[in-house]
Chains A and B, each alone.
Chain A
Amino acid sequence: MTTYNLNHLKELEAESIFVLREVVAQFEKPVLMFSGGKDSIVMIHLARKAFHPAKLPFPLLHVDTGHNFPETIEFRDKLAKDIDAKLIVRTVQDSIDQGKAVEEKGPNASRNTLQIVTLLDAIEEFQFDAAMGGARRDEEKARAKERFFSHRDDFGQWDPKNQRPELWNIFNGRKSFGEHFRIFPISNWTEMDIWQYILMEDLEIPSIYFSHKRKCINRDGVILAESPYVETKEGEEAEEMVVRYRTVGDMTITGATLSEASTLESIIEEVASTRITERGGRNDDKRSETAMEDRKKEGYF
């Protein structure tokens, strides 16, 4: 008897493609959040698969804090151009200039939370009714409770205690006027799945994911890249280190890993043996026990 089996990556892929198609079928103005990070690169690849041979039936949106790694921004622009997708960029700086957001102060200042304002404004400006993101349930405990189709009220807020049950593969995207959905097509993927998939599909990713030399500061165990956006504290001195990034956020909050891994295979080996979570190096999650949930309720991804 022939067996009809998919491997785990193919099954995850099929599930994500199903979700992406469901979004385009159920919503009028969807948008895909694209940062140039590995998860959103996988999202774009899945979206291309879902609608092949047509182009992506939605634009890409990046909420740019202005504190991103230049390598990622360069990669973002190139990929959008290569696949002929429409890329919308909205900046936190504009929100600050308009007085809608206020810059944090001090050495641990970050624009991470400020993104919420810019994002919600962009959703309103373009009347997006579904914003697709590459958040995964394995990343963080509040994200472990997310639905594929996550309802947001007309203030963009998430109500985690009152979520719609999600059964089988039937997704309920019904909403009232002014409300929108956040969609998480790769909910069931883990960090390892992402890396294995990048290897299997031979996807290009920004150089900062591979081992390189960089001037960094060690702050309370978090290795931060030296940059104009990170105010150094007294006694801190940048030294050259051999590092790579497991996750890519703002330069102000994203910690690097000391690593010699310069190929996808060696990264996968490293991920397999690591004992720290991917977001363990993110200062934004360390602010409090429920930092992620608090931000998500306000409208964060």
Chain B
Amino acid sequence: METFDSKGYLDMELLRFTTAGSVDDGKSTLIGRLLYDSKSIFEDQLEAVQRVSDQKGDEHLNLALLTDGLKAEREQGITIDVAYRYFATPKRKFIIADTPGHIQYTRNMVTGASSANLALILVDARKGIVEQTYRHSFIASLLQIPHVVICINKMDLVDYDQKVYEQIKSDYEKFAAKLEVKDVRFVPISALHGDNIVDRSKNMQWYEGSTLLYLLENVHIGSDHNHVDCRFPVQYVVRPQSKEHHDYRGYAGRIAGGVFKPGDEVMALPSGFSSKIQSIDTFDGPVDEAYAPMSVTMTLEDEIDISRGDMIVRTNNQPEIGQDIDLMVCWLNEKKLIHRGKYAIKHTSKDARCVIKEVKYKVNINTLHRIEDDLELGLNDIGRISIRTTQPLLYDSYKKNRITGSIILIDEATNETVGAGMII
């Protein structure tokens, strides 16, 4: 048994990834294998799955039952909702957002992709690149997932043939040129037999790249956050109202970008007042610098009026400020987007309302073609829209910063989250 180093955990990093694949491409098997090989599936879970598999008369141990937690999912044998799974190796802790491959696919994958560092896209070696691969890749690119790993699965069923792998790789590269994915890797695997998952495959000596787990453990995620443009959306104002901290006024929030240091010249937006950072406080004492995704509390040298929804930035590097905003939106609700309709909008810590001014086009997510003659945005549709907000937003393009560049739209009657927007 592996010995556990009780100090080593202090160097572990967190990687969030999402898995995408079409039906029967072995996604559940792959996740099951990663969990199993990292000892993250427990005996009682396996027994429970075995019990249900037996009762249903499944031929194989149905690993999908591990992730399909809801009664309705088990009854219908489908995954309805994003499920989160966890596993860890001595190097990293992993959070998998496992998204189902059915009708609700786009909505679920967009949800899972929104916080992911990496997307695993499965391709069946026998079938090669299919329509769904385009769709998954487009979403990964739209949501600006920094790393994409194309797992060419079921290599065992094509005799571990290098030519098959090379062909799929080159087909994909041609298509990917149209997308904006910064870092694409390819791994030939057999999830069923464990080839190139944790251990190098003896059946594919021609493959010189790393195994999937090695990739997941070592892909560089230190630059996934924006550490250049300083953005601190104020979430909450800490006022202790105690004798000891009578005059304390701290701005609490999570750094959305850049590196802040005490002494930095900063500006509060939208007011435009300038000041200097007096201290960056945490429960464990003041810190010398703060960067994304840290949660901290800042104090400023001057008393200026700042509240939730405002943003603290560097004087020489400001975000866009405006009420007329263009965005790509993914529609998440059965009730279609209403042209000229009004919605509540949430952006960082700011709440406002907005009106849909125009739907410019819809995207055919299988071909990436623009559709301009049908502008109805329904569930799972993606399109470009223009909105006008009731108050100015302090924003960046989504490409520049995933936190200050994203919004959600809320139906004011039902309070449901109906749209996910990425600012252009």
A residues contacting B by CB (< 8 A) are 3-15, 17-18, 21-22, 24-25, 48-55, 137-138, 140-145, 160-161, 163-170, 172, 174-176, 187-188, 190, 192-193, 196, 199-200, 265, 268-269, 272-277, 280, 289-290, 293-294
- Contact with B110, one of A140, A167, A199 (Cβ below 8 angstroms): A167
Chain B residues contacting A269 (CB-CB under 8 Å) are 3-4, 6
B185 sits at the interface (CB 8 A): no
B72 sits at the interface (CB 8 A): yes
| Cβ of A73 to closest chain B Cβ, rounded Å | 27
Nearest 8 CB-CB pairings of A with B: A141-B69, A49-B283, A272-B4, A54-B240, A17-B295, A8-B14, A280-B44, A174-B415
B406 sits at the interface (CB 8 A): yes
| From B14, B66, B241, residue with most partner A Cβ within 10 Å | B14
- Whether the Cβ atoms of A52 and B92 lie closer than 8 Å is no
- Whether the Cβ atoms of A172 and B225 lie closer than 8 Å is no
- Whether the Cβ atoms of B222 and A5 lie closer than 8 Å is yes
- Contact with A164, one of B108, B291, B416 (Cβ below 8 angstroms): B416
Complex Cα spacing A181 to B30, Å: 35
Would you mind naming 6 contact pairs between A and B with Cβ atoms under 8 Å apart?
A7-B14, A8-B12, A145-B81, A166-B417, A167-B111, A172-B408
Per-position contact with A for B135-167: 1 when CB-CB < 8 Å, else 0?
A: 000000000000000000000000000000000
- Whether the Cβ atoms of B12 and A7 lie closer than 8 Å is yes
- Contact with B6, one of A22, A52, A265, A273 (Cβ below 8 angstroms): A265
| Cβ of B304 to closest chain A Cβ, rounded Å | 20
- Contact with B293, one of A14, A140, A188, A275 (Cβ below 8 angstroms): A14
- Contact with A280, one of B1, B10, B42, B115 (Cβ below 8 angstroms): B42
- Whether the Cβ atoms of A161 and B252 lie closer than 8 Å is no
- Contact with B236, one of A9, A25, A190 (Cβ below 8 angstroms): A25
- Contact with A21, one of B4, B48, B227, B236 (Cβ below 8 angstroms): B236
Number of B positions contacting A (CB below 8 A): 88
| Cβ of A142 to closest chain B Cβ, rounded Å | 5
Chain A residues contacting B424 (CB-CB under 8 Å) are none
Chain A residues contacting B191 (CB-CB under 8 Å) are none
- Whether the Cβ atoms of A275 and B42 lie closer than 8 Å is yes
- Whether the Cβ atoms of A188 and B259 lie closer than 8 Å is no
Chain B residues contacting A54 (CB-CB under 8 Å) are 238-242, 245, 248
Chain B residues contacting A52 (CB-CB under 8 Å) are 238, 281-283, 297
- Contact with A18, one of B254, B259, B308, B415 (Cβ below 8 angstroms): B254
8 Å CB contacts to A: which residues of B277-323?
281-284, 291-295, 297, 308
| Cβ of B183 to closest chain A Cβ, rounded Å | 17
- Whether the Cβ atoms of A7 and B10 lie closer than 8 Å is yes
- Contact with B248, one of A53, A160, A164 (Cβ below 8 angstroms): A53
Chain A residues contacting B227 (CB-CB under 8 Å) are 4
B93 sits at the interface (CB 8 A): yes
- Whether the Cβ atoms of A169 and B115 lie closer than 8 Å is yes
Stretch at the interface among B83-91, B169-177, B209-217, B354-362: B83-91
- Whether the Cβ atoms of B84 and A163 lie closer than 8 Å is no
- Whether the Cβ atoms of B295 and A14 lie closer than 8 Å is yes
| Cβ of A155 to closest chain B Cβ, rounded Å | 17
